[in-house]
Homo-oligomer: A and B are copies of this chain.
C-alpha cells in the first residue's frame, strides 16, 4: 500500500462516508465580503455530524477497516472533536471505541464522547502519559489506533470537504483551512490541487503555536510548542503523512493573533448567526490580518467546527 494518500483516496472516501455525513452548505455574507474586500465562500462544517469536519476522517478510517481489523474496535487519544468523531463513527459501525483522554479534559467533552457510547480511559496530561496509556490499551484490547490527523484514511476523509466545496464553487483563487495536526489541510490540498491546480491552498495558524509555519518554511517537522492559544484544537504538530503533502501543495501558512481569532469568531456569530469554534475562526482571522492574500479574490474557507462551551465565551 502507498504511504501517502492521493486524490483517488479522497474520491473513494466520498463514496464510503456519504451515507453517514452531511453535505454541508456553503455560506456567503455580503457584509463580510464588503469588510474583507473579497468574495468569501464558507463551507459550514460546524453543521457536520458531531459539529466538526472530524466526522469525515473518522468515518472513512473506521469504515475502511476490514471485518477482521474492526473486530476488536478502535482507539485514539483526543480530548477534542476527533474523540467525538471516533465515538460517533464506531457507534455507526457497531464496534467498540476506547478514547484515551487526559484527566483534566473538560467535562462537557467527556460527556459528549460518552453519549456516543465510547469508553474512556484516563491518562495523565503529558504526551508521554498519553502514549503509554494508548500502548497499554492496544496491547490489552487488540483495537486499531486511529490518529487524529496523521493517518492515511483520516486525511483522505478530511479532503472530502474541499471536494464538495469545489463542486459547489469551482472557481476559487484560494482555499484556506486551519492547521493543527495538518489532517484537514493535507486532505484539502489533495482535492484542490486535483480539481483546480491554479487555486492556492493556504493554512492558517495561531501565531503562538506557529510550528506548521516554521515547518513549511524550513522543510522539516518542528515539535509542538507549549504556548497557549484559544484555538486549542490546533496545539498539535504535523506528522510524517500530513507534512509531505502539505510541503508539496500548500503555498503558505498565515499566522494570526489571539485577539484576531476572538474578533473573527464574534464577527461570524454576529453577522452570520452561526456558531463556530475558535479553530474555525483562525482562517477568518487570516482574511483580516493578511489582506494581501485575499483582497479582490475568491476565497474558500473551511469553517472546521462549532463545538463551543457556551458557559465560557472568550468575550465574556
Q: Which residues of A contact B (CB under 8 A)?
A: 25, 46-47, 51, 266, 269-270, 272-276, 306, 310-311, 313, 315-316
Contacts and interface: CB of A to CB of B under 8 A. Distances in A.
Tally of this chain's copies:
2
Interface of A is mostly: loop
Contacts of A315: 310-311
Contacts of A270: 310
- Pick from A25, A272, A273, A313 the residue with the most CB of B within 10 Å: A273
Contact of A269 (B25, B272, B275, B316): B275
Contact of A25 (B25, B51, B313): B25
Contact of A274 (B274, B313, B316): B274
A83 B296 CA distance: 33
- Pick from A46, A272, A315 the residue with the most CB of B within 10 Å: A272
A266 B272 CA distance: 17
- Pick from A274, A306, A313 the residue with the most CB of B within 10 Å: A274
Contacts of A313: 310, 313, 316
A314 to B, nearest CB: 10
Contacts of A275: 269, 273-275
Contacts of A51: 273
Given A47-B272, A273-B275, A310-B315, 16 more contacts: A25-B25, A47-B273, A51-B273, A266-B310, A269-B275, A269-B310, A273-B274, A273-B306, A274-B274, A274-B275, A275-B275, A310-B313, A310-B316, A311-B315, A313-B313, A316-B316
